[in-house]
Amino acid sequence: MPEPRRTPALLAVLLSASACLGQASPAAALVVAGASPTDPALADALAAMGRWEDDAAAVAVAPDWVLTTRHQGSASTVTFGGVAYTPLANTPGGPENVRNLGQDLRLVRLVDASGAPAALASTLSVATGPVTAGTLVTLGGFGPTRGGFNQDGFDWAGPLGNANGPLAGTNTLVQVGTLGPSSGPYAGMAALAAVFDEPGDAGVLPSEATVAPGDSGGFWLVGDALNGYEIAGLSHAVELRSERDNDPDPAVVERPASQAFYSQVLLAADATPFASEINAIPEPASAAWLAGGFGLLARRRRRHA
């Protein structure tokens, strides 16, 4: 039986309590409830998204810099269009190659097989204005496509890794805010929240989408085919059934990572507070940046997107 759609009031509680997901999880991906939207501008945006190792995504924001989340750990390879690049690390006395932004975002510099700065052709900028509830967002990821229907959502078809896609779908922001004190190291993180609506719900979209464990770092874009797309945030977490283990309905049970359920909440790390820093990234061979950021370990997160 489908669960009641989570209301904005309950989402306020969720953001205050930061009921999210666990740090470690198998790679998975984006689930699209309808047809994946396609247009030339979106195709360019998808070309700006690469695979971070085998368990996440990264988005090119300059020819040799990517923006990704921090919780999935390091990578030895980042792949764009079938071409493998090496992410660089910071070294004492050397140029800055990694910059941490807030609790779950980071910029990373890439080099090609020869050691020269990457020359990625497709890049995206970050939206300079704050986004608000009610904004349409386009989500991107590399995971499996929609599989068979289960009692209140979908199974996923295809490998539960980031070797699929890329896929794109849409959703609507229901809340923009900060995570609460029970979020541990993510407390105070600027976040965007959406809900995976069921067909027939008033707010459902033709390409309604959710994210899944392993889709960390996939983009949440604002904009459209006419005006182009910009980054609003990157996938941070998605709610699992275990987050509702206090529900009195005996039919409410935790779903495995190979399923999605209607009314689940999905969260992105909001990138807009860092727009000026990210959009000012120097071209290859320009001046290095200063370092910054915070450490991270999740306490109460069941699964990361």
- End-to-end CA, the chain: 25
Buried b (16+ CB within 10 A) or exposed e, 101-120: bbbbbbbbbbbeeeeebbeb
State residue 115's pLDDT score. 96
State residue 301's pLDDT score. 35
User: Is residue 280 within 8 Å of residue 197, measured between CB atoms?
Assistant: no
Alpha helix (H) residue ranges in 75-137: none
Query: Which residues are registered as beta bridge partners of 235?
Result: 268
CA atoms of 64 and 131, how far apart (whole Å) = 27
- Report phi then psi at 144, rounded to 5: -65, 160
Q: What is the pTM of this model?
A: 0.81
pLDDT at 35 over 70: no
C-alpha atoms less than 13 angstroms from C-alpha of 20 in its C-beta half-sphere: 38
Residue spans of the domains in the chain: they are 8-42+125-245+253-273, 50-121+274-279
User: Is residue 191 within 8 Å of residue 269, measured between CB atoms?
Assistant: yes
Fold classification of 8-42+125-245+253-273 is: Thrombin, subunit H (2.40.10)
CA atoms of 273 and 73, how far apart (whole Å) = 23
pLDDT in tens, 146-170: 777 776 777 777 666 555 678 888 9
pLDDT in tens, 88-146: 999 999 999 999 999 999 999 999 999 999 999 999 999 998 899 999 999 988 766 67
Contacts of residue 93, defined as CB under 8 A and 6 or more positions apart, other chains included, come to: none
pLDDT in tens, 257-273: 567 778 888 899 999 99
- What Rg, from alpha-carbon coordinates, does the chain have? 18
Token duo for residue 208: 């309604």
State residue 250's pLDDT score. 58
How far apart, in Å, are the Cα atoms of 80 and each of 24, 47, 85, 281? 24, 7, 8, 19
Number of neighbouring beta carbons within 10 Å of residue 144: 25
